[in-house]
Amino acid sequence: KAGVTQTPRYLIKTRGQQVTLSCSPISGHRSVSWYQQTPGQGLQFLFEYFSETQRNKGNFPGRFSGRQFSNSRSEMNVSTLELGDSALYLCASSPRTVTYEQYFGPGTRLTVT
């Protein structure tokens, strides 16, 4: 099976702009989660989507939003970018069986200038 793919891999944006990141999960996985990874804060959970519905949400401001499509592909949007949003954004899919194991994509490296 093909792994989780994320596009783009690298992105440079200016403060105040918005950005949309895309994630394609492993075939058959209906759960898609998004994480933000920074050197200071580690891996922080943003939200999870399952069958097009947001199932869980982390402690991030409303500028961070997401959605999932009927084919399980997911997008994450960040509006009004701030310098502190510079991070590696990771998408992970899960078969959601007995345990909530995550299969991560390579991430999108976002730099806000």
Instruction: Give me the residues that bind other proteins (CB under 8 A), please.
Output: 4, 33, 35, 42-45, 48, 55-56, 59, 90, 92, 96, 98-107
Question: Which residue, 78 or 107, is less far from other proteins as judged by CB?
Answer: 107
The separation between CA 55 and the C-alpha centre of its own chain, rounded to angstroms, equals 14
Shortest Å distance, C-beta 16 to other proteins: 28
Question: Which residue, 69 or 100, is less far from other proteins as judged by CB?
Answer: 100
CB pairs under 8 A, 24+ apart, for 58-61?
Answer: 60/36
Question: Which residue, 33 or 74, is less far from other proteins as judged by CB?
Answer: 33
Question: Which residue, 12 or 43, is less far from other proteins as judged by CB?
Answer: 43
Shortest Å distance, C-beta 110 to other proteins: 14
Report the Cα–Cα distance between both ends of the chain, in Å, rounded. Answer: 37
Say whether the peptide bond before residue 61 is cis (omega within 30 degrees of 0): no
